[in-house]
Amino acid sequence: MKLAELQKIAADGYASGESLSEYFNPETGEATELTPGDSLQWFMHVEIAETFDADAADDVQIAEAIRVMESAVNDLQGAINALYKHK
């Protein structure tokens, strides 16, 4: 699987509905420079690109993308919990 394919899979599940090409290069899969807009989606593509291994099997690549997305969810949940404590 190519990085751009993996990025598209993840982007297809993201709810913002914004243009994919705003956050990653559809040819290479590399994340674009951060511009005003949905920085969470941009961050998602950076995380996937940074952990991508072109030599890995598709299922390994998908598992790693899931791992980094779940790690981000845990980090965000920790921030949400901290904010609730100060509400």
Q: What is the pLDDT along the chain (87 residues), one digit of tens a residue?
A: 998 899 888 888 887 655 556 777 778 888 777 766 777 888 888 899 999 999 999 999 999 999 999 999 999 999 999 999 998
| Neighbouring C-beta atoms of residue 41, cutoff 10 Å | 20
> Tell me, what's the pLDDT at 44?
85
In terms of residues, how long is the chain?
87
Domain residues of the chain, as ranges? Answer: 3-85
> Tell me, what's the pLDDT at 54?
94
> Tell me, what's the pLDDT at 18?
59
Does residue 57 come out as left (phi exceeding 0), alpha (psi in the -120 to 50 range) or beta?
beta
